[in-house]
Amino acid sequence: MPTNVSFEYAKSEMEYQKAKTTSEKLKCLNEMLRLAPSHKGGETLRAEIKTKISKLKEKSIKEKEQKKTGSYSVSVKKEGAAQIVLVGPANSGKSTLLNALTKAKSPVGHYPFTTSKPEIGALLYNTVNLQIVDLPPLMEDASIKQAPLMAVIRNADLVVFVLDDLLHFKWLLKEFQESNIILNRRRPAIRISRGSTGGLEFIGSKLINADMDAVKKVLRDHGIANASIEIFSEVKLEDFFEVLDEKLAYIPALVALNKVTSGKVKKEKGWNIVSISSLDMYNLDILKDKMWELLELVKVFTKEPGKPPTKTNPVTLKKGSTIKDMAVHVHKDFVKKFKYARVWGNSAKHDGAAVGMEHILADDDVVEVHLK
């Protein structure tokens, strides 16, 4: 038993030793992690516990796979600039919202489970096509019983919880956690490039807020003994566990509180909650704006020299994208033949400013590319 631990920790460790099933062991390990010393000297102990939790989670997933009764598959091909999935329990109004946003004709009923398969519509938002997918209602134990639906969600660019009250929210979030989907949090700013020899090389180690021996132990416990590790912003020991877990999906999300005709957007425990009414078309424009904001995209219009810009079919890129990213998106030869570009819009110092390939674009920029 490690030194400097509390009586409660020692008790939970004894419970762990007695545990028989995977779920019992996971419960004990999570309790041990909660009670483990939080000071620097306890980092190695916490790292060891987290490694055990990670391995047991893998075992738990395999056990769940074996328990599944029957099998079916669900596949939704991505179209447009981004895929937004509407999720929620039965009778929350997802189908009505899909129809209101996209003019789709998804079946709507006053009885549970009217939607039995994904229904798809297209939302034209300020010249950008966004794909909206209305999934069948989720139920408790969705991570096991509706695993194919959770797989569709993992592939989405944005999740919109459609709820007529917040009573279901807690168990819905639990199903996402069980499916290794992390909502409204970015992937830790760590990049690991495995190497053949040379040990562990850290670039930006001053940004690591953890004991380096504990970090190295975590990496080696996961089979990484030779690698270059780049750190781009402040990280903790726990962040290394997340980066090493390839099963995790990071997706932005918001709540559309349906069947409400008062209020607009509020924040609750870090969540954006938009009050809407699909039937009354209340606050749907605000919902669209919030979805676009969370997607973190920019739309860029192109023009030919001497001609006006085309204000349709923009190039849609992630925020922070450069002229080079846009050029690659349009045609790979543009990068080889690139000479310079002129930009009109928020990212330019002045209209028609000449820029290079590393220039970062802003929403609604107009770009004129000049080739050699």
Q: What pLDDT, on the 0 to 100 scale, is given for residue 69?
A: 47
Residue 310: band (very low, low, confident or very high) from pLDDT cuts 50, 70, 90 = confident
pLDDT reading at 68 higher than 70: no
Q: What pLDDT, on the 0 to 100 scale, is given for residue 123?
A: 96
Higher-confidence position of 207 and 143: 207
Percent of the chain with pLDDT strictly greater than 90: 50
Q: What pLDDT, on the 0 to 100 scale, is given for residue 309?
A: 85
Is the separation of the CB atoms in 195 and 120 below 8 Å? Answer: no
Shared domain for 99 and 176, answered yes or no, is: yes
225 occurs within a structural domain: yes
Tokens of 146: 């509706």
Percent of the chain with pLDDT strictly greater than 70: 92
Shared domain for 20 and 165, answered yes or no, is: no
Q: What pLDDT, on the 0 to 100 scale, is given for residue 72?
A: 62
Q: What pLDDT, on the 0 to 100 scale, is given for residue 238?
A: 86
Where does a domain end: 21, 44, 67? 67
Stretch 131-136: mean pLDDT? 95
Stretch 75-83: mean pLDDT? 91
Q: What pLDDT, on the 0 to 100 scale, is given for residue 288?
A: 97
Residue 116: band (very low, low, confident or very high) from pLDDT cuts 50, 70, 90 = low
244 occurs within a structural domain: no
Shared domain for 231 and 148, answered yes or no, is: no
Long-range contacts of 62-67 (CB under 8 A, 24+ apart): 63/22, 64/143, 64/144, 67/144
Shared domain for 157 and 256, answered yes or no, is: yes
Question: In sequence order, what E strands does the chain have?
Answer: 82-87, 119-125, 128-134, 158-163, 181-183, 190-194, 200-203, 227-231, 249-251, 253-257, 265-268, 271-275, 297-302, 315-318, 338-344, 353-355, 365-371
Stretch 161-172: mean pLDDT? 92
For 181, the domain range is 82-185+249-294
Which range (130-139, 188-197, 279-288, 359-368) has the least confidence?
188-197
180 occurs within a structural domain: yes
Q: What pLDDT, on the 0 to 100 scale, is given for residue 39?
A: 74
144 occurs within a structural domain: yes
241 occurs within a structural domain: no
Task: Count up the domains in the chain and report the number.
Answer: 4
Stretch 232-243: mean pLDDT? 91
242 occurs within a structural domain: no
Q: For all residues of the chain together, what is the average pLDDT?
A: 87
- What does the pLDDT look like over 89-112, one tens digit per residue? 998 999 999 999 998 776 665 545
Single pTM value for the model: 0.81
Q: What pLDDT, on the 0 to 100 scale, is given for residue 15?
A: 87
Shared domain for 41 and 176, answered yes or no, is: no
Shared domain for 214 and 168, answered yes or no, is: no
Shared domain for 91 and 178, answered yes or no, is: yes
Stretch 154-183: mean pLDDT? 93
CA gap 212, 201 in Å, rounded? 12
pLDDT reading at 3 higher than 80: no
253 occurs within a structural domain: yes
Higher-confidence position of 255 and 5: 255
Shared domain for 96 and 161, answered yes or no, is: yes
336 to each of 68, 214, 320, 331, 340, how far by Cα in Å?
51, 45, 22, 10, 12
Q: What pLDDT, on the 0 to 100 scale, is given for residue 1?
A: 47
Stretch 64-76: mean pLDDT? 64
74 occurs within a structural domain: no
* CATH number, domain containing residue 119: 3.40.50.300
Shared domain for 28 and 110, answered yes or no, is: no
* CATH number, domain containing residue 363: 3.10.20.30
Shared domain for 175 and 260, answered yes or no, is: yes
Task: Identify any residues that bridge with 128 across adjacent strands, giving them in sequence order.
Answer: 125
Where does a domain end: 67, 100, 118? 67
Shared domain for 202 and 178, answered yes or no, is: no
Shared domain for 316 and 287, answered yes or no, is: no
